[in-house]
Amino acid sequence: MDSENKMRDIKIAKVTVNMGVGPEPNEMKNAQKIIEKLTERKAIKTKCKVRQPKWGIRPGLPIGLKVTLRNSNAEEFLKRGIAAKGNELKSTCFDNQGNFGFGIQEYIDMPGIKYDPTLGVRGFDVLVTLERPGFRVKRRKIRNRKVGGSHTISKEEAMEFVQKKFEVVFE
């Protein structure tokens, strides 16, 4: 973190927890209980956008769940998620805009979560969006603009931020 210029500091904008389930209603209920148990937030159903006849899905059919966490909730969940991965991430988890994501194979890998035999075992994805102060200009309603090239977060800057903040080791 650069103490000289506060506009260059990187922060966590949001953490999105995503779980793909499929079209089965019973699986959706179990997955919803799991994701709400993990995040302590209400899950939103994600709907299919394309038709896949082989898989039996069509547009508008709910096939997954997601929860978006912000501020201190996002940071706490991310600490637990990285701990579940053994504080190790691959450099391929990061994109060129500085965002990153990783998957957790079984929800029982998360610290503090107990196995519930009625819910089964299910994995989920954790997607993290990083930003700097001033990124609001691309989302605002009036006079929105692109973020300048020198102000965007590179892959290397994101990796350095995660390494310092969460003590992550890269494979």
Q: Assess if CATH 3.30.1440.10 describes domain 6-170.
A: yes
Query: Where do the domains of the chain lie?
Result: 6-170
Q: Please give the pLDDT value at position 120.
A: 82
**Whether residue 101 has pLDDT greater than 90:** yes
- Residues 62-87, mean pLDDT to the nearest whole number: 92
* Length in residues, the chain: 171
Tokens of 120: 């089964």
Q: Please give the pLDDT value at position 114.
A: 84
For 40, the 3-state DSSP assignment is coil
**10 and 153 in contact (C-beta within 8 Å)?**
yes
**Whether residue 2 has pLDDT greater than 80:** no
**153 and 130 in contact (C-beta within 8 Å)?**
yes
**Whether residue 3 has pLDDT greater than 70:** no
**161 and 10 in contact (C-beta within 8 Å)?**
yes
